Amino acid sequence: MAKAKFDRTKPHVNVGTLVGIVILPLMLCLSLFANDKIFDFDGTHHGRGLSLEKFNEAVNSHLPAPHKVALDGILKTKFFRITESGQEIEVLPGEFFGGKGYYKFKPNEEFFSETTCSYPYAGYWDICEYYKFNPGYGGHNHNGSVPPYTWNNQPVPNPKCRYNVPVNQPVRTYFKTPEFATRDDHKRQAWGTCTGAIYDIVDIKIDGLTLLPPAWADSLHGGVTYYNLINNPPYSAYHPIYHFGKSQTIALLKQIAWQYHGEFPRSEVLNINDMSLKWGGLFDIDANWQSGPNGHNRHRYGRQADVRLWSIPVGNRKRFEEISCNLGVRAETHGKNCELLSALEQDVWRNTDFKLAPWSELSSDELDAKTPHYHLVFPKFDTEVDDPPDQLPQNCPPPNRGILK
């Protein structure tokens, strides 16, 4: 759509004059090239017509300076989510940051962008689509070879370019988000009939995660330290903060810790280790962007938490499991590779007294490296579809949901 730029300091011409100085010269220019109705607006189709610059120059050469016109196409873009059933749903942008649209998707989710160049005449354009991941936003403090977007199990080229696209024909780029959470600085650059760039922010994250604060900061219990937050090096160097969870998870975890402390006030309080990262997603404790044998394939959605088993006295462990289960939270015993131990192995570790030699001679770090831990599995309180499916508690009664408002 033509856009006229007027000098507001000078008198305007009336409609008749405008027809004479704009429409007639335009028709004259078009008649000069009647033998080829296709205009080569990107300048790459030699012999097929005019480039956009030449066309604009021919039109504007007949117009007085205050009435020059620009005949560029209009560049637009949209994002669409692809549901499990294959339905395509447009995702409207959230708030804008410095002119950039803001969009959110979950890890392992499929979506596509659609970009169009609108123009009333024939023409062609080129487009390249770029993405740049910044996993630091998601809680990852490591680099390495950051995996790209994929589609059909193949990497999406960066940039993904298409050339000589007819105007008014949408261009789609399909993506599957990575397993980890990250921010994507997204860009589409166009040339030809449509020339310009569109910038957006795409956040890949699990919504609704909040940080479990230190117990002394919990005003509900008067500053009593009734649990400890543990950070284990060297993993904590790669993911400095990982005590995030759903609000219901945090409420239940606090209640478990408070009830345990109330029943065993002379015992060490619960030591809470891994939960989820700031934006959820893959918690790759080996900092290699993979779940792997020691990569916490769980801990993605804010519904799991690890607790030191060895710091709970042997006589308290069964009761700790009961307190958890009565609230609908299952306390499993997991080995160093985060696998669920067999019933016999769990029974052996449940009855191991770490205050006796040789365990008593080891430091906390050595005990963490050699012993299993409690893996707490919390209920799911939302209807979101998780990919991969989340672990849910088994064989424990449902919690009283009234306390979790």
Of 13-22, 117-126, 169-178, least confident by mean pLDDT is: 13-22
Structure tokens of 246? 């759903």
Closest CA to 120 of 167, 85, 75, 176: 167
Q: Decide which of 67, 94, 114 is a domain's last residue.
A: 67
Residues with Cβ within 8 Å of residue 336, at least 6 apart in sequence: 294, 369, 370, 372
| Number of domains composing the chain | 3
- Is the domain of 325 the same as that of 390? yes
Q: In which residue are the tokens 């403090």 written?
A: 141
Residues 32 and 81 occupy one common structural domain: no
Domain end marker among 174, 204, 234 = 204
How does the average pLDDT of the chain come out, rounded? 83
Q: Is the pLDDT of residue 6 over 70?
A: no
Same domain as 128, residue 107: yes
**Whether residue 98 is found in the same domain as residue 27:** no
- In the numeric block, which tokens belong to residue 318? 């069964």
User: 281-298, pLDDT tens digit by residue?
Assistant: 999 988 999 876 555 688
Minimum mean pLDDT among 8-17, 19-28, 276-285, 383-392: which range?
8-17
- The answer on 372 and 248 residing in a single domain is yes
pLDDT of residue 48 exceeding 70, the answer is no
Q: Do 62 and 82 fall into the same domain? A: no
Same domain, 31 and 49: yes
CATH number at residue 254: 3.30.1380
- Residues 115, 60 share a domain: no
160 in the same domain as 195: yes
Residue 286 and residue 363 in one domain: yes
Whether 52 and 110 map to the same domain: the answer is no
Among residues 15, 50, 67, the one where a domain terminates is: 67
Q: What is the pLDDT of residue 236?
A: 83
Does residue 254 sit in the same domain as residue 398? yes
Instruction: Compute φ and ψ for 132, nearest 5 degrees.
Output: -140, 115
Put simply, whether the predicted model's pTM sits higher than 0.95 gets the answer no
Query: Whole domain around residue 45: which residue ranges?
Result: 3-67
Confidence of residue 234 (pLDDT cuts 50, 70, 90): confident
DSSP summary character for residue 217: G
Whose CA is closest to 264, among 306, 320, 210?
A: 320
What local confidence, expressed as pLDDT, does residue 65 receive? 40
Q: How many CB atoms lie within 10 A of CB 365?
A: 10
Do the Cβ atoms of 278 and 138 come closer than 8 Å?
yes
CATH number assigned to the domain comprising residue 119: 2.60.40
